[in-house]
Every structure is written in C-alpha cells, then in structure tokens.
Amino acid sequence: MTPRIIQGKEKKLIGQSVLMSLVNNLTGMLWSGFMPRRMEIENRVGGDFFSLQVYPPDYHATFNPAVEFKKLALTEVSNFNHVPEGMEVFTLQGGLYAVFDSKGASADPSIFQYIYGEWIPKSEYVLDDRPHFEVLGKSYKNNDPNSEEEIWIPIKKS
C-alpha cells in the first residue's frame, strides 16, 4: 500500500475531546456524544468528520498502550464565530502528510501496524510531532468491512 504524500493546509475544526489510551479506549463514547450534537455547529465546511489524535512527545518512539493521549471528534468550519457550549476549537496546522486510503473495519489495527512497523521505517520519512487524524467521509461506515477512510500521518524528511 503506497500513500499519497500531501502538503496539508491549515484547517479550523470544532468538536469534542477526551483523554484516553489504547488500553482505556473511549472512542465510542466520544463519538456517541458528538454525533447527536453535530448540527449545532454553524459554518461547517463539507460533510467530513475528523478523528484526530494529539500524542505526547515520543509516544511512538517509546510506545506503551497505557499512555494517554487526547482524542478529538471534529468537523471543519469556516470560522470560530459560534462555538456550541461544551465544544472546543482546534486549529490543525498545515504540513506534510502520508495519506493512506483505508478500506475495512476501523477496529482492525493491521493498517496501523503496517504504517508504523513497515512503511515509515522503510521510507525516506520520519514521524513529525503533529496530530494524526482520519478523515471520515461519505463512504465511512463505523466498523463495517466496506467502510472507507483516509488516514493522515504527519511526516517530515529523515
């Protein structure tokens, strides 16, 4: 599987977040709280959703599934003029990304094992210390074997 290398642009996002770890995975709770409220967000840009992770420094270098990180459920907006109560803003910086087109159930970790265990070590890139995220578009179906999403991995030349 070969990714597209893309220079991503800055995005304004609004949504909700939770602190979690892979051992204490709260993704379902986060999204079940966000999706019923998504229509409260004004000035949405497109219909995509963003599942975004902000990892602490050296998270991947010293991987431990019990280490907490911030997980966000977001949608893109044109401005931050109206932020619904209980939601937060997030500005995603632009930068270089390896974008993997993924098809299959989101609970299947094999694509991430490939990205971090094979593709990155063999590529001319290293991980950059920026958020990782998935774009959940119209072909995304939660935990469905026919689901499609884009996985955006922040990279820089090694």
Contacts of 30-35 with C-beta under 8 Å, sequence gap 24+, read: 30/71, 30/72, 30/73, 31/73, 31/142, 33/73, 34/73, 35/73
User: 66-86 pLDDT, tens per residue?
Assistant: 999 999 999 999 999 999 999
Number of domains in the chain: 1
pTM summary value? 0.93
Per-position pLDDT tens, the chain of length 158: 899 999 999 999 999 999 999 999 999 999 999 999 999 999 999 999 999 999 999 898 898 999 999 999 999 999 999 999 999 999 999 999 999 999 887 767 788 999 999 999 999 999 999 999 999 998 888 878 888 899 999 999 98
Q: Provide the residue type at 12 as one letter.
A: K
Q: Report the CATH number that the domain containing residue 84 is assigned in CATH.
A: 3.20.80.10
Range of the domain at 44: 4-157
